[in-house]
């Protein structure tokens, strides 16, 4: 068990003023089997009223609209989460697990991923448990990819990243999701934070033996108590931390700072 003290800061600067901006923010940690919110505080500049609700994937969403002209938008959440050193994150919702079985959005395999899956078939036996299958697939994916910051963009699909052979945590997760689904293991994308400083992180939950087991393909390991889950979905878009529609704004630059520390 660990207590994690975290802060997520996002600052968007615009080259021209924004007259109006609708936002949906999914940055509040999930309460599940292996993690629990103790406290959290939210700050926004310009200061705006927003409402808190759940989306259809079970994520907390903050919804609102800034309608005073502004050229900088800042969002900050800080809080304390209790986590357990478990790879099991939660039970399956039997009614909804089916949505994580099929290709969707950024996780649609193309020729490269398909032929890789064919190769993997030789190495995976029917006797393997689902967890073993996940680990084997993750390990082979880890060998096949190179982690290169900035090599892909938010819009990059699993197939595009895999055909380049490089990417970041979002790409590793999208590719693993494609592969697991091809092996009939329902898999979903997780957006979250890990201990350290930098950016947000992404990993994968796979439905194995009646629970969701979390794998981090970027590090080729199962997750630990150093991970904070913020949201899940079929791909990155379903649980994007920030989604917005704005009027005006011109060019925008985004700066994200994440700090997560273990508290003793």
Partner 1 sequence: MKQQEQALLQHTDKINNLLARYGVKFGIYKNNVFKEQLFPFDSIPRVIEHSEFEMLERGLKQRVLALNLFLKDIYSEKKIVRDGVVPEDFIFASSGYLAECEGVMPVKGIYSHISGIDLVKGKDNTWYILEDNLRVPSGASYPMIARDLCRKSSPETFHNNKLVDNRDYADLLRHTMDYVNTGGHTVILTPGRYNAAYFEHSYLAEKTGAHLVTGSELFVENDYLYYISASGMKEKVGAVYRRISDEYLDPMNFNPESLIGIPHIYDVFRKGNVALINAPGNGVADDKGIYYFVPKMIQYYLNEEPILKNAPTYLPFYEEDMAYVLEHFDDLVLKDVAEAGGYGVVFGNTMTAKQKEDFITLLKAEPRRFIAQEVIDFQDLDILDEGEIVPRKADLRAFVLMAEEPMVWASGLTRFSRNPDSFIVNSSQGGGFKDTWVLYQ
Instruction: Answer yes or no whether residue 114 interacts with partner 1 by CB under 8 A.
Output: no
Nearer to partner 1, 35 or 59 (CB): 59
Site for partner 1 in 14-33 (CB under 8 A): 22, 24
| CB atoms closer than 10 angstroms to residue 67 | 14
Q: How far is the CB of 239 from partner 1 (least distance, A)?
A: 12
In sequence order, what are the residues at sequence separation of 6 or more whose Cβ sits closer than 8 angstroms to the Cβ of residue 15? 249, 250, 251, 252
Q: Which of 66, 171, 216, 238 binds partner 1 (CB under 8 A)?
A: 238
Strand-pair partners of 226: none
Alpha-carbon distance 65 to 24, whole Å? 9
Q: How far is the CB of 233 from partner 1 (least distance, A)?
A: 8
Distances (CA, A) of 257 to 85, 126, 157, 253: 25, 44, 25, 13
Q: Which of 56, 111, 122, 253 binds partner 1 (CB under 8 A)?
A: 56
Instruction: Answer yes or no whether residue 80 interacts with partner 1 by CB under 8 A.
Output: no
Q: At what angle do helices 111-123 and 130-144 cross, to 10 degrees?
A: 130
Q: Radius of gyration over alpha carbons of the chain, in Å? A: 19
Instruction: Answer yes or no whether residue 95 interacts with partner 1 by CB under 8 A.
Output: yes
Binding site for partner 1 (CB under 8 A): 22, 24, 49, 51, 53, 55-57, 61, 63, 65, 94-96, 98-99, 101-102, 234, 237-238, 243, 245
């Amino acid at each position: 068990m660990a207590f994690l003290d975290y802060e997520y800061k996002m600052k968007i600067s615009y080259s021209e003023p924004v007259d109006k901006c609708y936002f949906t923010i999914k940055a509040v940690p999930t309460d599940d089997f292996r993690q629990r919110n103790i406290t959290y505080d939210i700050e926004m500049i310009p200061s705006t009223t927003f409402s808190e609700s759940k989306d259809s994937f079970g994520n907390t969403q903050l919804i609102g609209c800034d309608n005073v002209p502004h050229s900088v938008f800042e969002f900050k959440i800080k809080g304390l989460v209790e986590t357990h050193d478990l790879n099991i994150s939660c039970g399956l919702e039997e009614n909804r697990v089916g949505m994580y079985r099929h290709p969707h959005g950024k996780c649609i395999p193309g020729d490269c991923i398909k032929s890789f899956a064919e190769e993997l078939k030789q190495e995976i036996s029917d006797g393997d448990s689902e967890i073993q299958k996940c680990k084997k697939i993750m390990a082979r994916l880890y060998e096949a990819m190179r982690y290169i910051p900035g090599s892909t963009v938010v819009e990059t699909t699993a197939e595009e990243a895999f055909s380049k052979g490089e990417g970041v945590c979002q790409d590793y997760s999208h590719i693993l999701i494609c592969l697991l689904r091809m092996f009939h293991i329902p898999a979903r994308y997780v957006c979250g934070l890990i201990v350290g400083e930098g950016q947000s992180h992404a990993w994968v939950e796979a439905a194995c033996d009646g629970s969701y087991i979390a794998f981090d393909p970027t590090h080729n390991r199962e997750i630990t108590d150093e991970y904070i889950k913020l949201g899940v979905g079929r791909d990155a878009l379903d649980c994007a931390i920030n989604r917005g529609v704005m009027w005006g704004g011109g060019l925008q630059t985004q700066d994200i700072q994440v700090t997560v520390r273990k508290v003793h």
